[in-house]
C-alpha cells in the first residue's frame, strides 16, 4: 500500500509540473521574433577575429519551431532524440543539447519569478 500511495503522489506531482509549465508558456507574450530583434547577440566576423570572441549562431525560426515543439512534449532529451533533432534542424547535437539546457533554465527562472510575485501578493500589507 505504501508504494501505491507514493506512485499516486508522483503522478500528482508530475501533473502539477505539467500545469505549471503550460501556464508559463501561455504567459510568455513576447514572440520569438520580438526577442530576436530586441537583443542583437551576434558578433561580426571582423570583430570576432580582433577580439578573439567566438561568433554566436542564431537559431533560425524553423529550427526554433521544431525544438520548441519537441520541448513542449518532453523538456529532457535522450541521445537518440538529440541526434534526430540535430539531423532535422541541421544543428550539431551539442547545439541542440545547449538549446534545451538554456530553455529549461529560462523556464525555471520565469517560474521562480512567478513564485516570488505570488508570495508578495499573499503577504499582509
Model confidence pLDDT, tens digit, residues 43-69: 445 555 556 677 777 888 999 999 999
How many angstroms separate the CA atoms of 85 and 83, rounded? 6
Q: Which residue has the higher pLDDT, 120 or 44?
A: 120
User: Is the confidence at residue 28, as pLDDT, over 90?
Assistant: no
How many angstroms separate the CA atoms of 95 and 72, rounded? 18
pLDDT at residue 64, rounded to an integer: 92
User: Is the confidence at residue 40, as pLDDT, over 50?
Assistant: no
User: Is the confidence at residue 98, as pLDDT, over 60?
Assistant: yes
Q: Residue 110 in contact with residue 24, Cβ under 8 Å?
A: yes
Amino acid at each position: 500500500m505504501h508504494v501505491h500511495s507514493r506512485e499516486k503522489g508522483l503522478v500528482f506531482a508530475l501533473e502539477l509540473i505539467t500545469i505549471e509549465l503550460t501556464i508559463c508558456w501561455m504567459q510568455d507574450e513576447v514572440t520569438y521574433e520580438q526577442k530576436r530583434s530586441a537583443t542583437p547577440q551576434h558578433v561580426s566576423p571582423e570583430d570576432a577575429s580582433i577580439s578573439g570572441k567566438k561568433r554566436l549562431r542564431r537559431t533560425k525560426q524553423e529550427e526554433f519551431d521544431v525544438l520548441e515543439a519537441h520541448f513542449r512534449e518532453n523538456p529532457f532529451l535522450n541521445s537518440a532524440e538529440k541526434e534526430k533533432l540535430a539531423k532535422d534542424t541541421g544543428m550539431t547535437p551539442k547545439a541542440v543539447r545547449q538549446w534545451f539546457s538554456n530553455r529549461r533554465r529560462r523556464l525555471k527562472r520565469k517560474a521562480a519569478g512567478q513564485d516570488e510575485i505570488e508570495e508578495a501578493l499573499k503577504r499582509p500589507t
